Amino acid sequence: MISIKGLTKTFTTSNNRITAVDDLTLDIKDGEIFGVIGYSGAGKSTFVRLLNRLEEPSAGQVIINDQDITALNSNQLRLTRQEIGMIFQHFNLLWSRTVTDNIAFPLEISGVPKQEREERVQELINLVGLNGRENAYPSQLSGGQKQRVGIARALANRPKVLLCDEATSALDPETTNAILDLLVDINAKLGLTIILITHEMHVIRKISNQVAVMEEGKIVEQGDVLDVFLRPEQPVTKKFVKQIMGSNGDDGAEELVNTYDSGKIVRLHFIGDTTNQALISQMARSFNIDINILQGKITQMQQGAYGTLFVQMDGEKAEIDRAITYITDETSVEVEVVRNVE
């Protein structure tokens, strides 16, 4: 368990004081992938650097495995940091060292014997998929390969926590997905806790279990990723959800709705396994109504899929009401009547 209590970081300039992280309190469970999302200036990168004291907090506590990181002296902190790996947006590799030597570097600092070091490096090269690139220098690697080196290096000392500060922001979409898949694989195989800092909702929805939304140094919304997608409360969260789903999946729906003059326009929310249900065909067979699909979208998340579908139900009012009652009472699909147009 990672327990963060009242964490604060204030920077003082010649003109004013800036509170980058403002009295932040948060618990993160062991073994989960926890996403922290915010726009530029939200304080998320400062927050993640406070967790291993690359930035010194102005106030508050960071407790990892019952150890107060903020209370450690420099020698204690150096040892504890071996249990907290970190990967960066711009890789931070040593350009004069090969892939093997970059991965081995933290092991050298820790005084690991040469044979053990070599065995560990080979394990990590296999884990991150860099076989055949052991003797390459960073200048000879693609962006995705550089980040794989960064991940392997961060895992060298067998950390219990992995901090990822915008780890995919410098990568193209295809490479981003490959790195995210690798992080999911590492989380499953090693059981370590991953804290993922990003400004991209795509990253959150693909691999995170929980998400915290930061704005002006504070957490303004937090919860299960699927719940946050379904019911975003804060304006900033709604903007992030729109990156993936559009305006809750209804871009252009208002124009579509206004073109129909009978029946009901209904928005259906499919969650998890319900996205695989043949609901529309079932409805058409079971009720004497016509169903016209207007617009829809489904996106995949770590906990399952989430989809929104707009349909027109046309027919006798009583029969339409029976169909809607059936969906509400007999399935886990959420129903919202957008417009009565009879």
**Residue 254: per-residue pLDDT:** 55
pLDDT tens digits, residue range 202-230?
Answer: 899 889 999 999 999 999 999 998 888 87
Q: Is the pLDDT of residue 97 over 60?
A: yes
* Alpha-carbon span 230 to 233, nearest angstrom: 10
The dihedral sign for the CA sequence 150, 151, 153, 159: positive
pLDDT tens digits, residue range 284-319?
Answer: 888 999 998 888 777 766 666 677 888 889 988 899
Burial label for 206, CB within 10 Å (0-12, 13-18, 19+), is buried
Q: Give the model's confidence band at 336: pLDDT under 50 very low, under 70 low, under 90 confident, else very high.
A: confident
Q: Is the pLDDT of residue 249 over 60?
A: no
- 146-169 mean pLDDT: 94
Q: Is the pLDDT of residue 247 over 90?
A: no
Q: Is the pLDDT of residue 332 over 90?
A: no
**Residue 340: per-residue pLDDT:** 72
DSSP H helical segments within the chain, as ranges?
44-51, 74-80, 99-109, 114-128, 143-155, 173-190, 201-207, 225-230, 235-245, 253-257, 279-286, 317-330
Residue 140 token pair: 């000879």
- 129-141 mean pLDDT: 95
Q: Is the pLDDT of residue 257 over 70?
A: no
**Residue 1: per-residue pLDDT:** 84
**Residue 43: per-residue pLDDT:** 94
DSSP SS3 for 147: helix
Q: Which residues have CB under 8 Å from 77's CB, separation 6+? A: 53, 69
**Residue 303: per-residue pLDDT:** 62
- 326-335 mean pLDDT: 85
Q: Is the pLDDT of residue 112 over 80?
A: yes
Q: Give the model's confidence band at 54: pLDDT under 50 very low, under 70 low, under 90 confident, else very high.
A: very high
Whole-model pTM: value is: 0.81
- 151-160 mean pLDDT: 95
Domains, the chain: 2-243 (3.40.50.300), 253-340 (3.30.70.260)
CB atoms within 10 A of CB 133: 18
CA 90 distance to own-chain centroid? 19
- 247-271 mean pLDDT: 66
**Residue 170: per-residue pLDDT:** 84
The rounded percent of the chain whose pLDDT value lies above 90 is 59
Residue type, 314: D
**Average pLDDT, rounded, for the chain:** 88
> Do the strands 2-12 and 17-28 form a parallel or antiparallel pair, or are they unpaired?
antiparallel
**Residue 248: per-residue pLDDT:** 46
